[in-house]
Amino acid sequence: MEFFLDTGIVAEIKEAVQLGIIDGVTTNPSLIAKTGRNQKDVIKEISGIIDGPISAEVIATDFEGMLIEGEDLAKIHSNVVIKLPLTEAGIAACKRFSQKGIKTNVTLCFSVNQALLAAKAGATYISPFIGRLDDIGQNGNDLIGEIRSLYDNYGFKTKILAASIRHAAHVRESALLGADVGTMPLSVVKALYKHPLTDKGLETFLADHKKANS
C-alpha cells in the first residue's frame, strides 16, 4: 500500500519525506486555500520535494474549463496527477486526459457505480471518501472492499486511493481490504507508529539497560 500525504503545507511534506515512507502527495482546493498561496506555486514547490505522484485539482466545473486547467497543471511537472470531480463533466474530462496519457485522480467518490464510471474512463486513481461516509452513518471501508471486488472482477487498472482517512483504524481496514493507496494527514501517519506495548517495552528495555550499566 502506497502512502500519500494529504496536505498543501510544504513544511509538513518536508517533515513527512524524512520518515522514508511517503510515496506521493494529494491536494485539493481547501488544502491549498489554507496555505494562502497560488496553487501552481505550491504544486511546483512540492514537485521539488518529493519524487512521486502529486494530485492537483481543477476548479472548473465544465468540461472545457477542466481541460484547460488540467492541461495547464500537467505542464508543471511530469508527476502531476489531475484531480477531477466525479461528475459528468469530470468523467468526460478524465476520458480525454487518459487518451492523452495524462494521469488523473477522480475524487469525491461515494458509490461503486461512480467507481465503475471512473475506471471505464481510464482514471489512474479513484478516491473513495471513507471518512465522509462514516460521518453519515455508513461504513466507508465497505466501499473500499466493494470497489476492490469490482475492479478485480473486470481487470480494471485504476488504483483505489482511500481518501478522507481520519485515524489509524481507517488505514488498517483499507489496507486489509486491498486499497492500493491511502492518503492521510501527517497526524494520522504519525499515529501509525503508536502502540502502548511498544512504548512499555521500550521503557522496560531502557530501564534494564540503565540498571545493568549503573
Mean pLDDT of 58-80: 98
Q: Which residues of 66-99 are buried (b: 16+ CB within 10 A; e: fewer)?
A: bbebbeebbebeebbbbbbbbbebbbebbbbbbe
Taking Cα atoms as reference points, which of 79, 87, 32, 16 lies closest to residue 52? 79
The number of C-alpha atoms within 13 Å of 54 and in the hemisphere containing its C-beta is: 28
Of 83, 103, 159, 200, the catalytic one is 83
Provide the pLDDT for residue 53: 98
For the question of residue 190 being annotated catalytic, the response is no
Q: Please say if the pLDDT value at position 214 is more than 90.
A: no
Q: What tens digit of pLDDT does each residue of 133-176 get?
A: 999 999 999 999 999 999 999 999 999 999 999 999 999 999 99
Taking only Cα atoms into account, the Rg of the chain, rounded to an integer number of angstroms, comes to 19
Q: What tens digit of pLDDT does each residue of 89-116 get?
A: 999 999 999 999 999 999 999 999 999 9
Provide the pLDDT for residue 147: 98
Provide the pLDDT for residue 20: 97
Q: What is the mean pLDDT of the chain?
A: 97
For 12, the grid coordinates are: 509538513
Q: Find all residues with CB under 8 Å of 50, minimum gap 6, and list them.
A: 13, 17, 22, 24, 25
Q: Does the reported pTM lie above 0.85? A: yes
**Sign of the CA dihedral running 81, 2, 192, 19:** negative
